[in-house]
Structure 1
Amino acid sequence: MTETIPVAVPRKGRPLEAVLDRLATRVEDSHHAPERQGVDVASIADSISSILRYEKAITKGNQTATDDVYDRLADYSDLSAPGRPEYTLLRDDRSGRPRRIVFDSVTIPLGDVELQLIGREEPFRALRTHDFAMGFDSADLVLEEVVELTADPLESIADLNARIDPHDTDVRVVAGLGDTVYHTLMGRPECRPDGSTAAFDRAFVREYEGPLCISPRYERLVEAVLGTDAIDGIEFCYPQNGREEEAAIADAGLGVYLTVTGSTARDHGLELGERLFPSETVLMQNLEEATDGTSIVADLFAGATADSELTV
């Protein structure tokens, strides 16, 4: 009998798209051939990503749907053909809490096992509670939940496992998917002492006293990547009333935010400093729940990725 391996994934967003992209690429490159069973993994992955982008645009008011949300939900979740994904409705966090269609699940045959991706709001926590043996989530969540805070800054995703207390959780990071953006230090030139041309880096923070603007959900992450000694004399502050992060950092003078190009930061008069820590979608495994089937899935996803910041 074919073993089904449930894997927790985010319900929407960049991490889910990274999982789908990796799945489509690795299945095509590997010895697994689900297309022989009537399942085109690349088409399924592309369809899920496209639907979720469309639904996000509707939720944000950038797109207008011609049919009712329940009609769309029923159409997306048509299970008449093998490998068709299912979707579900959630209340979005945006103003008015609109209903949003998000990913629920899909099952992909992989020869000896069936891979079942199941959407969860907090995949990492689902692994911590042993509800799943495997899952994907942002490396940021691992820092926010379980890594030990020390005076030494955490500079690499590859160092995450060494900073996880084995008495706290059985979950470990297995592989990265290469969808990397960076938590970057940035500041206004006026934040430097008079006449200084010092770079905005960890050394600057160690000597700095004053406000440091961050997203409130990243307080523990920032402590981990800067080190506890470096934040002595620093007062965390946060964007208020939905204000964009770069504008709030410009007001504070110094801050940390996720950046890709940094163009918006420069538009607010900010200089980009050191890339403090990479944010990347990672595959995690609960070591106590490992089986031969989970090893097959891990091997499928853990192929070498040149863009990944993770080497384990």
Structure 2
Amino acid sequence: MTEPVPVAVPRKGRPLEAVLERVAAVADTENAEATVDQVTSVLRYEKAITKGKQTAEKGSYERLVEYSDPADPSGPEFTLVRDDREGKPRRIVFDSLTVELGGTAVHLVGREEPFRALRTHEFALGFDAADLVLEEVVSLGPEGVSNLAAVNERIDPTESDVRVVTGLGDTVYHTLLGTPEVVPSGGELDRGFLTTYEGAMCISPRYERLVEAVLGMDAVRGIEFVYPENGQEEEAAIAEAGVGVYLTVTGNTARDHGLVLGEQLFPSETVLLENTAEVDAEIEAVRSTITGGLREETELWA
């Protein structure tokens, strides 16, 4: 029997939900949609426990046993990891699931950092946030990147064999935000504004290299990155700084803090990735099944 094709996926959160939703849409497996709904429900419940919004009547090990079916080796499995919260408590996250995609058995394998698992050639295919690609391997240049199509062009082939294949459409945007006082009268809060702006720009601490890649090094000259204080809302910190970059969906929270929504700089989206050195005919077939019908502008390999 042919071994299933392993595909690295996130263990939790919005990116994993986007992956499971896509898999359910294209899977041959009977009841794939119901299985995916089950996995999503479990993880949302576990997240609610993590956030203190739910109280579990049973311990984590008991819940872990309930979520898995030992009689179904291809069914969903979960695992325990140590969370980053104070005290490092356990958290139940996704571990694996086997589905049929285009007649090929595919083993979805949970990883903390799928992108890095592809970089080390553990997997030929995987899903992760586009943000991580910018943080890790996109080269910094005078000009920034504004869309997924530009990402592959900025990956040094001697640095990594991993490339973005397509986005899954679960898009929120890294958006330029500012107070009305810093926006020129009649002007736009966009990349052009940054060519003359000098001063503080508030961002999340881990996103410094991402913001540099998105804006370009010319645009960040004269800009000092500042960060929210511990426990401070990002929008409140940006309002204090005057200008910042943060993820927005509707922008309502930003407006509540008196901020103007500027240019949507880059899509924060779950993407399908491939390690080009590991692609063979079987991988190509799985890739084709996953990408079939996705919007054409994000299909970078076609």
TM-score normalised according to structure 1 size: 0.92
Q: Distance in 2 between matches of 1:278 and 1:309?
A: 13
Match in the other structure for 2:253: 264
Write the mapping of 1:1-312 to structure 2, written as runs, cut at 5 A: 1-27=1-27, 33-35=28-30, 40-110=31-101, 112-192=103-183, 196-306=185-295, 310-312=298-300
* Structure-2 change in CA distance of 1:144 and 1:111 (3 Å): closer
What is the CA deviation profile of residues 43-87 of structure 1, one whole-angstrom value per residue up to 9, with x for unaligned ones? 111111111010000000011111111100111122213532111
Deviating runs (4+, > 2 A) in structure 1?
A: 94-98, 109-113
What secondary structure, in the 3-state scheme, does the structure 1 residue paired with 2:65 have? helix
Q: Which moved more, 1:78-87 or 1:177-186?
A: 78-87
Contact 2:26 / 2:101 at 8 angstroms: preserved in 1? Answer: no
Alignment gaps of 5+ in structure 2: none
Match in the other structure for 1:30: none
What secondary structure, in the 3-state scheme, does the structure 2 residue paired with 1:130 have? coil
CA drift at 1:309: 5.8
Q: Distance in 2 between matches of 1:92 and 1:309?
A: 37
* Structure-2 change in CA distance of 1:301 and 1:235 (3 Å): same
Contact 2:168 / 2:294 at 8 angstroms: preserved in 1? Answer: yes
What secondary structure, in the 3-state scheme, does the structure 2 residue paired with 1:250 have? helix
Q: Distance in 2 between matches of 1:79 and 1:207?
A: 62
CA drift at 1:224: 1.1
Q: Distance in 1 between matches of 2:8 and 2:231?
A: 30
Q: What is the identity percentage for the equivalent residue pairs of Structure 1 and Structure 2?
A: 63
Q: Distance in 1 between matches of 2:255 and 2:133?
A: 30
Q: Distance in 2 between matches of 1:206 and 1:95?
A: 42
Q: Distance in 1 between matches of 2:293 and 2:240?
A: 42
Q: Distance in 1 between matches of 2:243 and 2:88?
A: 32
Alignment gaps of 5+ in structure 1: 28-32
TM-score normalised according to structure 2 size: 0.95
What is the CA deviation profile of residues 106-158 of structure 1, one whole-angstrom value per residue up to 9, with x for unaligned ones? 11134642100011011000000001111000011110010111111211111
Q: Distance in 2 between matches of 1:203 and 1:93?
A: 39
Supply the AA of the counterpart residue of 1:311.
E
What secondary structure, in the 3-state scheme, does the structure 1 residue paired with 2:298 have? coil
Supply the AA of the counterpart residue of 1:178.
G
What secondary structure, in the 3-state scheme, does the structure 2 residue paired with 1:190 have? coil
Contact 2:99 / 2:106 at 8 angstroms: preserved in 1? Answer: yes
Contact 2:101 / 2:289 at 8 angstroms: preserved in 1? Answer: no
Q: Distance in 2 between matches of 1:54 and 1:211?
A: 40
Q: Distance in 1 between matches of 2:259 and 2:101?
A: 49
What secondary structure, in the 3-state scheme, does the structure 2 residue paired with 1:118 have? strand
Q: Distance in 1 between matches of 2:85 and 2:254?
A: 23
What is the CA deviation profile of residues 181-217 of structure 1, one whole-angstrom value per residue up to 9, with x for unaligned ones? 0000001112236xx3322111111111111001111
CA drift at 1:92: 1.6
What is the CA deviation profile of residues 4-54 of structure 1, one whole-angstrom value per residue up to 9, with x for unaligned ones? 111110000011000000011122xxxxx322xxxx211111111111010
Q: Distance in 2 between matches of 1:143 and 1:304?
A: 26
Q: Distance in 2 between matches of 1:297 and 1:244?
A: 41
